[in-house]
Amino acid sequence: MSSLKSLMASAVAVAVVALAGCVTAPSPSEYRAPQPAKPVDVQRLWSGRWHEIARLPDRLTDGCVAGASIYTPVEGTRVDVRDTCQVDTPQGKEKAIGGRGEILDPGTNAKLRVKYLAGFVTWDYWVLDRADDYSWFISADPTFERLFIYTRDLPTEAQVRSLTERARALGYDVSRLEFPAQPPR
């Protein structure tokens, strides 16, 4: 009987910790990021594989390199998301998480809310800027705490510098950016 009580206590403790760690979408009063600069074509941006070139530090991405996000438009405003990275080296073990996204601003399509882990973790992503040819985009959360730079193909050093300067122009402290190792060309 005591092992059953111990098991139940452990289950309750795990549930409490899990719920305490839930991340929910911010309220509009917490928005500090600039508004998206351009509308987004769902089929061109929210589809296919994007390489994560730079990001602000986050405990969830510690040890992650060669990151990518894969978007799949489903129907209407729904977009499935699969975020992946390799652990420690571009040849390391894959770490991945899937989520269900919902476009928050139909017509403009630049704001995506993604629910991960059955909705226990919810993040809003805004496309602050993008290339006219959809070769890159800069995404952030509306609270100004997260920033990601994505490219369709692996960029040159000059492209990375240019995108970093664009993030600086948007108001971000680019000295804090991480540039994780990328897969070989």
What pLDDT, in 10s, does the model give residues 23-59? 556 666 565 667 898 999 999 999 999 999 999 999 8
Instruction: Kindly state the average pLDDT of the residues 138-153.
Output: 94
pTM: 0.83
CA–CA gap between residue 71 and residue 82 (Å, rounded): 7
Provide the pLDDT confidence category of residue 8 given band limits of 50, 70 and 90.
Answer: very low
pLDDT on residue 44: 97
pLDDT on residue 120: 93
CA dihedral 66, 178, 149, 73 (to 10 degrees): 50
Using the predicted structure, report yes or no on whether residue 67 has a pLDDT greater than 50.
yes
- Which one-letter amino acid corresponds to residue 121? V
CA–CA gap between residue 61 and residue 184 (Å, rounded): 20
DSSP classification of residue 30:
G
The residues that bridge with 68 in the sheet, in sequence order, are 51, 84
- Return the beta strands (E) in 3-156 as ranges: 48-55, 64-75, 78-87, 94-103, 111-116, 121-130, 136-140, 147-151
Burial of 154 (0-12, 13-18, 19+ CB in 10 A): middle
Length of the chain: 185
DSSP classification of residue 16:
H
DSSP classification of residue 110:
-
Q: pLDDT tens across 114-145, in order?
A: 999 999 999 999 999 999 999 999 999 988 88
Dihedral angle sign, alpha carbons of residues 140, 153, 62, 173:
negative
Domain 25-176 has CATH 3.40.50.300: no
